[in-house]
Amino acid sequence: SRPTVSTYFTAPHSVRKSTRARIEEALEQHDYRPNIYAMNQNRRLTRNVGIVVPYLSDPFFAEIARNVENLVIAAGYRPILLSSQGDQGQEIGNLDSLRSIKPAGVLLAPLGRASDRAAVEAFCGDVPTVLFDSNIEGVGEAFVGSNNDQSIALIVEYLCRTGEPPAFFEMLTPTNPNAFKRRNAYIQAMERLGQTPHLIQAEGTGWDFEEIGFREGGRVIRERSLPTNTVLCSNDRLAIGVLSAAYEAGLRVGHGAGSALRVAGHDAHPCSRYPCPTLTTVSQDYDSIARRSVETLF
């Protein structure tokens, strides 16, 4: 019967062994594959979970997405991974695509300031959604991410304790949705320590952070406009570009005699341990963010 065949596709071991063998023989004979999306049209709750990130080629989001995917699969759901490519229209298109397949829920890392708040809010009203990495105040069931005030305060205190107070290197028009939070956290941390904040704002837009850090870091080094020998970058990818610019300018980065510059970042980016010298950074807990996001959604 049709209900028995349907049961086979959702819980095959609950079907009698002899009946299961007949079904599997017929499937092989006709080379049949169930259309999961068509099956879901008649269900109130599907086994699909959407995962949307701002830019999948960024190793930070790729690592988070990998962890989330594994957790979703382990829970018996099907992950559907989409990237917004840093574009508001693409983010809205991703949400529309997910809405059409009636997912059980969605894990969304929004563009943040670049998001269409009304569109994201409307989607979250239709589909159970947990935001991660970047929050939009009042939108979604919950938000899971790092505490930028805490992490920036930690690294600012460390840098002040071990050398000259840091200047903050950021993009003038930042793409990273956490950038403004980190800038504000830097200013507050410096003021609490009785230090004067210095902002170095790099020209450039988009997600080519290393190139922007290299180009604009090289510019401030050539212009000798650094107010201190310590640079705290808004994220590790910018910092990796600044490290490269320092190397090209013949400046030694590090501690001790002969070192002209100290460079630090934020995120514990997967590549941050491999530059020379290894990048000083403050980490985000990838595993915990992924696990807590999935647990909260379920």
Tell me the two tokens of residue 180: 């403004």
Q: What is the pLDDT of residue 109?
A: 94
Any idea what DSSP says for residue 57?
A: T
**Residue 44, beta-bridge partner list:** none
How far is it, in rounded angstroms, from Cα 22 to Cα 34? 16
Q: Quick one: tokens of 298?
A: 């379920």
**How many CB atoms sit inside 10 A of residue 295's CB?**
12
| Residue given tokens 């049961």 in the structure block | 7
CA distance 15 to 9: 10
Rounded to an integer, the average pLDDT of 213-231 is: 95
pTM over 0.85: no
Residues 201, 171 contacting (CB under 8 angstroms): yes
pLDDT tens across 201-218, in order? 999 888 899 999 999 999
Please give the order of strands across the beta sheet that includes 262-267. Answer: 199-202, 167-171, 230-233, 262-267, 280-283
The pLDDT mean for the chain works out to 91
9 or 149: whose pLDDT is higher?
149
**Token pair of 217, please?**
């870091």
- Asked if residues 20 and 12 have their Cβ atoms less than 8 Å apart, the reply is yes
Tokens 């300018």 belong to 249
At 100-141, the pLDDT tens digits run 888 999 999 999 888 999 999 999 999 999 999 988 888 988
Quick one: which of 227, 234, 171, 177 has its CA closest to 198?
227
Give Cβ neighbours of residue 123 (< 8 Å, ≥ 6 apart): 95, 98, 99, 106, 129
Say if residue 190's pLDDT is above 80: yes
Question: pLDDT for 22-52, tens place per residue?
Answer: 999 999 999 888 776 666 666 666 789 999 9
